Amino acid sequence: MADTQRYVEAVLSWSRAQSVTVAVLKRGADDTGWTEIGRTDASEFTATGLHPERSYTFAVVPVETDGSLAAEDEWETLRVAPTADEGTPALPAAPTGFAAAQDGPNVNLRWDAATDGVTVAHEARVGDSWEDGTRIAAGVIGTSLAWAWSASGATTLHVKAVDSLGRTSREAASATVAIAALDTHVTADAADQGALGWPGTKTHLEVDGGVLRQERLPLHFGAAVVPFGSFAGVPCFAKYWPRGVYESPVFDAGQVEHQRVEVDMGAAQPVDAGLPFGAIRRPALGARAGRDEQLVPLGTPTFASQNSWRLTPLAPVDAAVEIDTSPTPGGAWDGWRPFAPGTYRYWRTRLRVTVSGDGLRFVRVPRLVVTRRKFNRKLEGEVVVNCSPVNVVFPVPFQNPPKVTASLVGYTGTPIVTNVTSTGFTIAGGAAVFAGDPATFAPTVHWQAFGT
């Protein structure tokens, strides 16, 4: 019996009158004889020390006045299986809704949430069958899993449900996916918006010397503009539109695929720290007296006092980036959402940068480079690691540092990968990394590198 399983009890009851003393007998599934485990005058009895996954047969036998047992045709028998397959609780049900699909260097697995009240985790294997397959994950909580595949071609994956006692479902859910080699498709692009002349749509932003900056506000009152422009939401004494939007041109991948999207806007958003006091020539706080204490006529150009800008809070400068994708070459868009560097699935995509501030400080975007790429190269191999770290050198260098994953062959655990460059990486060793004595325990590590 597994260490996690405990002996259980079973409460037996019968229909005989309580005034009759009965003997309770027990016989195991592999036992041909009966063993008396107790006598009682009650109508129920608690049997203890039962194995949770074995079945037992109990008999309730009347006791004669001389202490002997009644004939066997007067016995009441009952078969009990505390948690065996045919008992309660039952084994976990096989997962439903199982599907698998390739996502670049990974295969994504998903299945429906368990509803049997028994399943607590899942185990996944890859191979022709569950019995002959290799375990790729155990103790998976949830309904999805990403597996880094190591060979292209038709691959069958299996998932079983696991209960709190470590028992698996009788049947496994299986799915076959055709894994395509990564070197059959290459898409990569780095679009420098500034070098291209900022070709996207600009709202309250303008180009100045190759830099995208906030557009200056038009003349306020008295301007010969028809119709008169609205300045709703513009802070007091602002010189520039406090909010500007740049929308990049559409990037077309040519087909629906996953690509990693990255945005380079420079190390930091540059801002002119000084407030443009000398450029603000409007009366502050109504009429103002000169040094001779004579009131200055309203409308007389003058420098603003400190109070003139203190009454308008200085809003923090921000440059927010959003992304939008479309699964078709000319159909509807999915909608704008906050951008985070990562992999997106699309046919077309576009980016939107929103620059906001207080209208006083001069905000500009000096750089915006949108990089799209897909992993199109994969290298793999195996090394033996023990006490010392192992440096792995790629047979053919990558253009950029790739993504490296590593796993132990035949053992659980995750090796530690460091110092990843375009030419190689390091796998840490020692007792702090692998269980057991590193002098005698030398595990094999399988590694994979994905990149361009």
Asked if residue 203 has pLDDT above 70, the reply is yes
Q: What is the pLDDT of residues 118-140, one digit of tens each?
A: 899 999 999 988 888 888 888 89
Confidence of residue 86 (pLDDT cuts 50, 70, 90): very low
The arithmetic mean of pLDDT across residues 275-304, rounded, is 52
Q: Identify the CA nearest to 215 among candidates 244, 238, 235, 247.
A: 244
Answer CATH for 8-80 from 2.60.40.10, 3.40.50.720, 3.40.50.620, 3.40.50.1860: 2.60.40.10
Classify residue 248 as exposed, middle or buried by CB count within 10 Å of its CB (0-12, 13-18, 19+): buried
Domain boundaries, the chain: 8-80, 99-180, 188-373, 377-451
Beta bridge partners of 221: none
Looking at per-residue confidence, does 106 or 425 come out higher?
Answer: 425
Please report the pLDDT score of residue 392 as a whole number: 93
Give the whole-angstrom CA distance, residue 151 versus residue 148. Answer: 10
Q: Please give the CATH number for the structural domain made up of 99-180.
A: 2.60.40.10
Of 49-58, 165-174, 202-211, minimum mean pLDDT range: 49-58
Fold topology of 377-451 = Immunoglobulin-like (2.60.40)
CB atoms under 10 Å from CB of 288, counted, come to 15
Beta bridge partners of 257: 346
The answer to whether 287 and 295 have CB atoms below 8 angstroms apart is: yes
Q: Are strands 201-203 and 369-373 parallel, antiparallel or unpaired?
A: unpaired
Looking at per-residue confidence, does 35 or 150 come out higher?
Answer: 35
Q: Which pair of tokens denotes residue 333?
A: 């868009």
**CB within 8 Å of 46: residues ≥ 6 apart:** 9, 10, 11, 12
Give the whole-angstrom CA distance, residue 380 versus residue 402. Answer: 12
Q: What is the pLDDT of residues 369-378, one digit of tens each?
A: 888 877 667 7
Q: What is the pTM of this model?
A: 0.39
Confidence of residue 89 (pLDDT cuts 50, 70, 90): low
In Å, what is the CA distance from 199 to each residue of 242, 348, 367, 375? 22, 17, 13, 28
Return the beta strands (E) in 238-341 as ranges.
243-247, 251-264, 288-289, 295-296, 318-326, 337-338
Fold match flag (99-180 vs 377-451):
yes
Confidence of residue 301 (pLDDT cuts 50, 70, 90): low
